[in-house]
Amino acid sequence: MYSLNEKPEKYGTRTRVEIIASMLDVAARGALKTHIMYRANLSHGQLEKYLQFLEEKGLIRKLLDDSGGYSYEATEKGIEFLKDYARLSQYFQT
């Protein structure tokens, strides 16, 4: 498996930033781990590495729900990242 702090810049056809933006977009409304995995089109291994990275950076947080399970929610910092990403990606649209 690859490290998020090393090359390659792209994994498949998406960049790491695109994958992070996809995950935060799903988690902006709160989501289960499996929902993030399927909606962001990630393998389980990718999901685990990216969730750990996003939690360490303070972009996403794990929440304990009433049933004892966990869900994930984008933090305010994560929402700001999404806004910045959307604004910057407009410049690169063809």
In a domain, 2, yes or no: no
Whether the CB-CB separation of 50 and 23 falls below 8 Å is answered with yes
Q: Give pTM, 2 decimals.
A: 0.82
In a domain, 1, yes or no: no
Q: Please indicate, yes or no, if residue 5 is contained in any of the structural domains.
A: no
How many domains are contained in the chain?
Answer: 1
Q: Residue 66 corresponds to which amino acid?
A: D
> Can you give the CATH number for the domain in which 75 is found?
1.10.10.10
Whether 43 is in a domain gets the answer yes
Residue 47 pLDDT exceeds 60: yes
What's the confidence (pLDDT) of residue 1? 43
pLDDT at 87: 94
- The CA distance from 63 to 1, in Å, is 27
Is 30 among the domain residues? Answer: yes
